[in-house]
Structure 1
Amino acid sequence: MARARTERGLSLRELRARLGDGTSVSTLSRWENGKQAISLERFVHLCVALRVSPALVLHDACTRAYHHTHRIPDGYVRLAPEAHQPMIVREW
């Protein structure tokens, strides 16, 4: 998230203003540094404020987390959209 923010030339204070929900600069900093968990709802709100896709951010994070194994851990599933059909879960 820090990369998205800095690529857009935003300071933590400017991002805080974009969020407009009272999130403190220190909370934003802790989220960026992995020192505090963020709820899914707040994560999506943050992505919207940064104009990045939550799905792409999560994909990037998963890719980095599991790059050394070259596979997705057992028991994980992926969501695969089909043309004009609702999202369905498939075994990976």
Structure 2
Amino acid sequence: MATPSRQMILNLYSSTLRTAKSFSSYNFRNYFVRRTRDVFRSIQAEKDASRVQSMYTEAVQDLAVLRRSAIVNQLYGGWRLAVEDPSKPVLERSDN
């Protein structure tokens, strides 16, 4: 397969970032947003075309896993943390 185009990489980045932001748990959401940015910065910095292709393929597979994980996390999100929204009570469930 040919090296992914810039547009393909940007589309994958936006899809992954959107999925990462859909986690209901604060810690998971922030971790996956940070991880997504780090992964795509490393793809952007890579010069070797075959390495970019393998990194892109791995990122596509990671997106599929991330989507499934986000769905499960939305179902069983748990309690909201105090750092998420200070105007709401801490004991409010995130799935309400």
> TM-score surpassing 0.5?
no
TM-score, length-normalised on structure 1?
0.23
- Name whichever structure is richer in helix by fraction: 2
- Name whichever structure is richer in strand by fraction: 1
